[in-house]
Amino acid sequence: MGLTKTEIFTDEQNKLAIQLKAIAHPARIAILQYIIAAKACICGDLVEELGLAQPTISQHLKELKNAGLIQGTIEGVSVCYCIEPTAWAALQKEISNLFASYKDPNNCC
């Protein structure tokens, strides 16, 4: 075990879980916030900005990339990261649906 039983759930549930998991880490939240806050793309000031080692940051960026939430373009020696607008908007909508489906308290608890 130690293995999520993905075959039991719908593709939508699995995909949402994967993308939420990508965001569900303080370092990756911080990375996303930093990328968003910078008006331009971020060319890897992240190592200095956060207090984590370079391989660790690189790994977190890879996970965000794998989840499709950011994209990186090579700019000479460095790499520029920014939000992937389509996936970002899609995830926003998906999460919004989940939360909005809960209307008012049933006050039975």
Segment interacting with DNA (CB under 7 A) among 31-39, 77-85, 86-94, 98-106: 77-85
Q: Does 2 bind a copy of itself (CB under 8 A)?
A: no
Q: In three state form, how does the secondary structure of the chain look?
A: CCCCCHHHCCHHHHHHHHHHHHHCCHHHHHHHHHHHHCCCCECCCHHHHCCCCHHHHHHHHHHHHHCCCEEEEEECCEEEEEECHHHHHHHHHHHHHHHHCCCCCCCCC
Q: Which residues bind a copy of itself (CB under 8 A)?
A: 4-6, 8-9, 13-14, 16-18, 20-21, 23-30, 32-33, 36-37, 39-41, 50-52, 71-73, 80-83, 85, 88, 91-92, 95-96, 98-99, 101-102, 105-106, 108-109
Residues near DNA (CB under 7 A) are: 1-5, 21, 24-25, 27, 43-44, 47, 52-56, 58-63, 72, 74, 76-79
